[in-house]
Structure 1
């Protein structure tokens, strides 16, 4: 008779995501994962297959959560300038509060480029951000909030790149003034 799994997969995935987010892929050992998840190696392999497979699932979970938050922020704030400013300010505040945390996607991009599945997840995450921003900017242009000459997709690509840059610079502890000056310049792209 097969043993019944004695742990919550979703909770374990969230804990693994948090560990990878704090330590990075390379610095997270199998022992770290087993300890964090409070499971044995047999249960680990049965549930997740391998460290890399768990990492991919953690990236997928992170992308889903972050994407939902971004979509909600863009759709839930009146006015595209307020929405974009709110999103960018929240990222700056997060990095100022905990500069070691950063972004799991940026971490994956810089640490796991040689791992095709991880690189694919990074591309997917970046395209998701671009897509949400493009949609919000298209709606804003239709409402007359941005110039008809502005290309929403180009603006979205700029802002997507800027978001990733904020996460990197935030981890470098450049400070509030540096980040807020960059934010002011980025916001002018919507003028």
Structure 2
């Protein structure tokens, strides 16, 4: 990382250069060392699908994938991610070409208010990349770190299970 000093008015602010790939697009940005990844994604890149909930790493609504692993974007600084590959919910699919997880959440009513949905989708994506044929118990365990105040989780579990079946032809109970 290259350190530089920006001078804004009479205040000097230190920034660091980071090079990241977000949803397949390369970015070079100068960021303050303590800028959270969630704020970087939302404010610097305009990717507002990553929500911010508790800001303590408890709720999981800010989950994104960093180098293939689910990461709480409210707990990591953007400056720590030089040369990282980041995937947000915006990288999953498009309105006219939904990812199987998005389609299953819609069809199985795996969302209500939608606030937790981006974090749930990213958690589910990591689960299915590691375990393409999960049981409902595997799914419960995987999403246990994600809080949802609306659905009661059953429809989320069914949506992830349905997506796994569609994606991989799974037939577990």
Which TM-score tier does this pair reach, normalised by the shorter chain? Answer: under 0.3
The higher radius of gyration belongs to 1
Structure in which a larger fraction of residues adopt helix: 1
- TM-score scaled to structure 1, two decimals? 0.25
Higher relative contact order (CA 8 A, sep 6+): 1
- TM-score scaled to structure 2, two decimals? 0.27
